Amino acid sequence: MVVTDTFSLFARRMSSTQNFPYVVIAETPNPIRQLEKDALRVRADAMIQTVIDGLTLPPMEIEKRTAHLVKQINPAGVARSSVPV
């Protein structure tokens, strides 16, 4: 998943509601709306390895790398934070 840093925690919470609490999230600083093409390229280049890792790493490695992030989801100790409506 690719998001700006403003939405990374929200993205993790939403992915957990779909039973994907360990999803790999590539983030970039917010805002990106008015950036020029060259500035966007720099941001994309900075995130590309995270995207590749998310597509190629074994699930257990992804879980290991993101376990500390899952702890940000509330309530504590619950990987699934809410039920989508």
Number of domains in the chain: 1
Supply the range of the domain harboring residue 55.
Answer: 2-70
8-12, 46-50, 67-71 — which one is most confidently predicted on average?
46-50
Q: Does residue 82 have a pLDDT over 60?
A: no
pTM for the full predicted model:
0.76
Beta strands of 1-85 (E only): which ranges? 2-4, 26-28
Residue 19, domain member (yes or no): yes
Q: Which residue has the higher pLDDT, 82 or 24?
A: 24
Q: Chain-centre distance of CA 70, in angstroms?
A: 10
Question: What pLDDT was estimated at residue 71?
Answer: 76
Is 75 a member of any domain? no
Q: How many CB atoms lie within 10 A of CB 69?
A: 16
Residue 81 lies in a domain: no
Q: Tokens 């190629």 sit at which residue?
A: 56
